[in-house]
Amino acid sequence: MITKSRLNRTQLIALLLPGLLLFAAFTVYPIIRLFWMSLCDMSFSSMLTQPFNGIENYKEVFQDPTFWTVFVNSIVYTLITVPGQMAIGLFTAILLNGIKRFSVTFRVINYLPVVTSWVIASLVFRYIFNTEGLLNYFLWKIAGVTSSNIRWLDTRWGGISVAMILGIWKGIGWNMVIFLAALQQVPQDLYEASAIDGCGAWGKFVHVTLPGIQGTILFALIELTIGGFNVFTSIKMITGGKPAHLTDTLLTWMYYKAFSTGKFGYAAALSFVMALSLGLLAIVQFRMMRNRDN
């Protein structure tokens, strides 16, 4: 075929190589290197020799109580923000799917938080959730639902809540757009058939909509789970891990260990465990997707 000619072969390789080299050097190599670093003593004092020390870093990670605190934080963050933004995004998409006028306007406005950078959005939320800030004033003095200012930013679950509210707020638009596209692919006659069978709105949602958009739900689940564990900038900007690392997540804690205490081996082991478990989780989810297709 065409690939037999030498000129064409050279050209094919020339097209592949630049991207491949960049990708290999700056993404694939660091993954492999990460694994190797996780097996070496990489603290400041041993930086030059970097002796192999087996699973010592992993032991240190798993015996560290702070690791378990930040692990729980990351799990809670993901378990709440992922279904939260999916549910609200899907609900918005269903509302949008039923209207004709202003549909684009609503879509554009609701997508704006997605394009707002994490640094800016985090600072806005930090300002709103300040102890003497706007939200507390509203809750206490105007709505009357609290009887004092909530210390959002310097308690464990207060800080995490702010980050979670931000995460949901910022993610709804993305979910809305992909679910809207999925809803438009659900065959209209299925809805008509279910109406004849006497299905109400809820019945249609459970028996027609949900099965019809299963693939997109799984896709969103994979993407958002990875995103949930990738949470970093919002925590760094909103609480900075304070008080006493109680609000840190896996990545902000890993970052602190590496760049503030010089424990690169510990950080590498923690990162590798994360990458591996999320990779496996994604493979399981991909399998589920493929099984559904067959």
Partner 1 sequence: MKSLNGAKIRGMILRYFLLALGTVIFTLPMIYMISTSLRPNGALYEYPPRFFPKWEALTLENYSYILNQSKFYVNFLNSAFVSLSTITLAAAVSSAMAFVLGKFKLKVNKLIFGFIILTMIIPGTTMIVPQFELATKLNLVNQLWGLIPFYVAWVIPFSTFMIKGFMENIPGEIMEASWIDGASVWTVYTRIALPLASPAIASVSIFNFLTAWEEYPWANTVINDTSKRTLPIAIAGFFGQHQFTQWGYVFAMSVLTLIPVVLIFILCQKFFVQGLTAGSVKG
Residues in region 245-264 near partner 1 by CB under 8 A: 251, 254-255, 258-259, 264
Question: Which of the stretches 8-16, 58-66, 153-161, 189-197 binds partner 1 when contact is defined by CB under 8 A?
Answer: 8-16
* CB-based contacts of 89, cutoff 8 Å, min separation 6: 171, 172, 173, 174, 175, 176, 179
Q: How far is it, in rounded angstroms, from Cα 192 to Cα 294? A: 26
Sign of CA dihedral 134, 138, 141, 145: negative
- Which residues, numbered 48-107, are part of the site for partner 1 (CB under 8 A)? 92, 95-96, 98-99, 102, 104, 106
Binder among 70, 163, 222, 246 for partner 1 (CB under 8 A): 222
Q: Using CA atoms, how far apart are residues 73 and 248, in angstroms rounded to an integer?
A: 7
205 binding partner 1? (CB under 8 A)? no
Map the footprint of partner 1 across residues 12-51, applying CB under 8 A. Answer: 12, 14-16, 18-20, 22-23, 25-31, 33-34, 37
Find the shortest distance in angstroms from Cβ 129 to partner 1: 10
Query: What mask of x and - would describe binding to partner 1 in positions 116 to 135, judged by CB under 8 A?
Result: xxxxxx-xxx-xx---xxx-
Binding of residue 190 to partner 1 (CB under 8 A): no
Which residue's structure tokens are 């930013």?
153
146 counts as binding partner 1 under rule CB under 8 A:
no
Long-range pairs of 32-36 with CB within 8 A, sequence gap ≥ 24: 34/268, 34/271, 34/272, 34/275, 35/268, 35/272
Q: Which two tokens stand for residue 172?
A: 């709804």
**Whether 266 contacts 60, CB under 8 Å:** yes
54, 55, 72, 185: which one contacts partner 1 (CB under 8 A)? 185
- Distance of closest approach, residue 41 Cβ to partner 1, in angstroms: 14
CB 179 within 8 A of CB 216: yes
By CB under 8 A, residue 220 contacts partner 1: yes
- Is residue 193 a contact point for partner 1 (CB under 8 A)? no
Q: How far is the CB of 113 from partner 1 (least distance, A)?
A: 7
